[in-house]
């Protein structure tokens, strides 16, 4: 009996000493309202790149319904991941959004993040507007352990992009 109590005590202590793994990826960014003659809400893609710059996972795509042909305007995402996706991708696609602050939380328990191995990655937010500009912002992060938020500022089509792993 003493042996099993010791084993249980050891197992409970080992479990509580294990580091907590990250379960959520929080992304916040600004879609600025631009003073231009013809403004259209941008198409936006949010994805993760591996250290070799290949696509690891597509997290979110915002575009006008039935306008898939314009997704290739998000050139970087399209070349790396978009052209091989099947449309409509449940849980990934959504409508364009009005200018202003945007917040999205991606759960590590489901979707594209559930199979992502711990390590160094880059989150990419890319925006392209009809009759407008194009921009992508890259933010490095470590998946698998909570860390401090990292912010990278955009220049025109995107404001600051902040990524935090919780």
pLDDT 10s digits, 13-60: 444 444 455 589 999 999 998 888 888 889 999 999 999 999 999 999
**CA 113/CA 24 separation, integer angstroms:** 9
Dump the DSSP string for 8-63.
Answer: HHHHHHHHHHSPPPP-EEEEEEEEPPP--SS--PPEEEEEEE-TTS-EEEEEEEE-
**CA 119/CA 40 separation, integer angstroms:** 37
pLDDT tens per residue across span 140-153 = 999 998 989 999 99
**CA 145/CA 22 separation, integer angstroms:** 5
Structural domain spans, the chain:
40-165
Under 8 Å CB-to-CB from 20, ≥6 apart: which residues? 145, 146
pLDDT tens per residue across span 82-120 = 888 775 555 577 778 889 999 999 998 888 898 899 999
* Single pTM value for the model: 0.82
Coil, strand or helix at 166: coil
Tell me: cis bond preceding 88? Omega within 30 of 0 counts: yes
Tell me the CA distances in angstroms from 63 to 47, 82, 138, one per residue in order.
Answer: 15, 13, 20
Task: Retrieve residue 72's tokens.
Answer: 């290739």
């Amino acid at each position: 009996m003493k042996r099993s109590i010791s084993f249980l005590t050891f197992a409970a202590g080992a479990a509580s000493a294990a580091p907590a793994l990250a379960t959520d990826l929080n992304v916040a960014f600004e879609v600025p309202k631009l003073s231009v003659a013809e403004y259209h809400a941008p198409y936006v893609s949010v994805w993760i790149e591996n250290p070799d710059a290949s696509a690891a996972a597509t997290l979110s795509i915002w575009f006008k319904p039935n306008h898939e042909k314009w997704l290739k305007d998000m050139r970087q995402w399209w070349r790396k991941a978009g052209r091989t996706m099947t449309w409509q991708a449940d849980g990934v696609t959504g409508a364009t959004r009005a200018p202003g602050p945007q917040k999205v939380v991606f759960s590590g328990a489901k979707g594209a993040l559930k199979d992502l191995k711990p390590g160094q990655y880059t989150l990419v937010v890319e925006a392209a507007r009809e009759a407008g500009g194009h921009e992508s912002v890259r933010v490095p992060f470590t998946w698998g352990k909570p860390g401090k938020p990292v912010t990278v500022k955009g220049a025109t089509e995107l404001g600051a992009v902040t990524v935090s792993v919780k």
